[in-house]
Structure 1
Amino acid sequence: MRAYRRKSWEMTMIKRLAAGAAVLALATGLSACIIVSSDGGSRTVVKSAEDYALMVDQAAADAEPAGFGDLYREAISDPKRPAEEVARDPLRHPAEILAFAQVAPGDKVADIRPGAGYFTRLFSDVVGPTGRVYAFVPERTMARENAGADALVAAYSNVTRVNGLLDSMTYAEPLDMIFMSQEYHDFHIPGFNTDVAKMNAAVFAALKPGGRYILIDHEAAPGTGISAVQTLHRIEGDYLKREVEAAGFIYEDESTAVANPADDHSLNVFDEKIRGKTDQFVYRFRKPG
């Protein structure tokens, strides 16, 4: 049965990625190939959507915790995912991120500033009917971002929108995971009026003992700390690590799924020369207990 489901998944992904690759090609000027980051961050060219589908399958099989690889594959192949999000899969490595984050059925998770819902949709499918995904939209940005979160709520019965202050966020129940993708650096920008130390303390309080804090962000040059958060939208990973550990978290592991050593950290992340291909760190922290 597992072999049949995997083959079915591969064929579904081949069809969806073929369409998605066309979207990616239009957006980035690619032709028939897809550019991905291999383990360790070097750039790799995959010649077809079929090759990429098999790469995702292998990534899920290699890294899945407790046999959840099939759930990850099913989430990635969910037909409700927009084509433009599927087209970004080769750059965002969803199978590796789901596995690294250890997302499991029944988990209660928060996705901070979910945007269009790239990860919210994946989390919703994996945690299933016994789980819950809280799409947290800060009060500071809810006027323009609540509509996107409400669309996710309408499409997925286990998604709930939450508004609040980042530095005093609370949820209806203790959480297994809090997730931020490419957002943490923004909260150091003065316009967000956020006390990041208090935010990390609020995350700590919201998690169950043993809960996971997953952070993905654009790497800045060594020694720059938070000096480039507004100019380049980057943050030094080591600086972030120290901040999170100061809140009581234990640094557990790092993934290189979206690393890119060819990025010299000098460009704004929205610069077309590097957009979508920045060097990113993925950290997993854990609340003791």
Structure 2
Amino acid sequence: MNKLALAFVLPFVLAACGGGQQPPAAPAQGAAPDQPAQPVPPKSAAQLYAERIDPILAGAWRSPENKARDTYRHPKETLAFFGLKPDMTVIEITPGGGWYAEILAPLLKDEGTYYAAVASPLSSDFAKKQADALRAKFAADPAEYGRAHVIEFDPKTPNLGAPNSADMVLTFRNAHNWVEAGTAPAMFKAFFDVLKPGGVLGVVDHRAPPGSDVEKTKDSGYLPQDFVIKLATDAGFKLDAQSEINANPKDTKDYPKGVWTLPPTLQLGDKDKYLAIGESDRMTLRFVKPAENAPAAP
């Protein structure tokens, strides 16, 4: 075969043998092979709470005076102890000036629902004043409180909403008022009714010395812890846990003006003396509404 014919045939021979194909390039050393994209798992409600609580506590809508109370009231730790999650339906009972509402409403505004339950303005002038002030507070800052709800209840026959509709009920420093007014059993029954099975009742209140007679301490604002536990368990709740987050061993609980001697009220003045003690010694109790048809423990 002459050179011209060989030059013409050779490329076809090589192509038939695969010689005309280039081998695939080897991956660069250390390079990972292509992998399908891994979906990022959604954050848990507990993770969302942990991320959001600090910016909320530092929020510009909270006054410096209210932020100063954090050192006594431990809101971050208290709400975590109760198991608060940003996607819950939460009812706060008689929030007063809204100290905890400033934290709860912004925390729940995106995934959850916040209800401030206030005594009917028809029940007293004081109740009307508090209800009006709370509504005005919410209306003044729609960015933080635009999705907060205010509901009213009759203190003598309280109804907080549809049965089994709330994930959590919270009450801070209120039980002594209901004991003094004789409405405590009805209030705890209302908490039980509105909570879903498995729902949580969180209670913080001023704590009397162990073994105290409630009739002798209730006017001072202090209540025996075992008495409050009985109020809840008599309504059907199970005590789930107790915490000393809000304990204060400096509180001697023997003041002429009761808890109102201490900050923030300071009814006797003498700020240096009572500021050195701090706010009252408080019980922090978590109760659970038993799940319906739950199997009995062995």
Equivalents in 2 of 1:210, 1:176: separation in Å?
8
Asked if 1 retains the 8 angstrom alpha-carbon contact of 2:162 and 2:194, the reply is no
2:138 is aligned to: 153
Identity %: 27
Q: In the alignment, does 2:116 pair up with 1:135?
A: yes
- After superposition, the C-alpha distances for 1:66-102 in whole angstroms (9 at most, x for unaligned) are 2221111122111111121111111111111121121
- 2:249 corresponds to 1:261: yes
Q: What does residue 152 of structure 2 align with?
A: 163
Match of 2:59 among 65, 73, 78: 78
Give the equivalent residue in structure 2 for 1:232.
220
Equivalent residues of 2:45, 2:86 under 8 A apart: no
Q: Counterparts of 1:253 and 1:152 in 2: how far apart (Å)?
A: 33
Structure 2 CA distance, aligned partners of 1:229 and 1:142? Answer: 24
Q: Which string of whole-angstrom CA distances, capped at 9 and with x for unpartnered residues, describes residues 87-135 of structure 1?
A: 1111111111121121111211111111121111211122232321111
CA distance in 1 between partners of 2:213 and 2:82 (Å): 25
Deviations 1:217-240 (A, max 9, x none): 001122224224543111101111
2:93 and 2:170 in contact (8 A); partners too: yes
Native 8 Å contact 2:57 2:103 kept in 1: yes
In structure 1, how many angstroms separate the alpha carbons of the residues matched to 2:116 and 2:137? Answer: 8
Contact 1:260 1:277 in 2 (8 A): yes
Q: Does 1:179 align with 2:175?
A: no
Where does 1:1-289 land on structure 2 (aligned, <5 Å)? 66-67=46-47, 68-139=49-120, 140=123, 141-154=126-139, 155=141, 156-166=145-155, 167-171=157-161, 174-190=165-181, 194-267=182-255, 268-271=258-261, 272=266, 274=274, 276-289=278-291
Letter paired with 1:108: T
| Contiguous gaps of at least 5 residues in structure 2 | 1-43, 267-272, 292-298
CA contact (8 A) 2:117 2:160 kept: no
Change (3 A) 1:246 1:172: closer
Q: 1:274 to 1:183 in 2, by over 3 A?
A: farther
How far apart in 2 are the matches of 1:229 and 1:122? Answer: 31
Question: Does the 8 Å CA contact 1:105/1:131 hold for their aligned counterparts?
Answer: yes
Counterpart contact for 1:103–1:127, Cα < 8 Å: no
Query: What is the identity, as a one-letter code, of the residue corresponding to 1:123?
Result: L
Which protein has the larger Cα radius of gyration, Structure 1 or Structure 2?
A: 2
**Separation of aligned partners in 1, 2:162 and 2:115:** 10
- CA–CA distance in structure 2, aligned partners of residues 260 and 195 of structure 1: 28
What is the identity, as a one-letter code, of the residue corresponding to 1:102? G
How far the C-alpha of 1:142 sits from its partner, in A, is 2.5
- The answer on whether the counterparts of 1:65 and 1:102 sit within 8 Å (CA) in structure 2 is no
What CA distance in whole angstroms lies between the structure 2 residues aligned with 1:211 and 1:184?
A: 19
The aligned length equals 223
Q: How large is the Cα RMSD of the aligned pairs?
A: 2.0
Whether the 8 Å contact between 1:186 and 1:229 is mirrored in structure 2 is no
Letter of the 1:147 counterpart: D
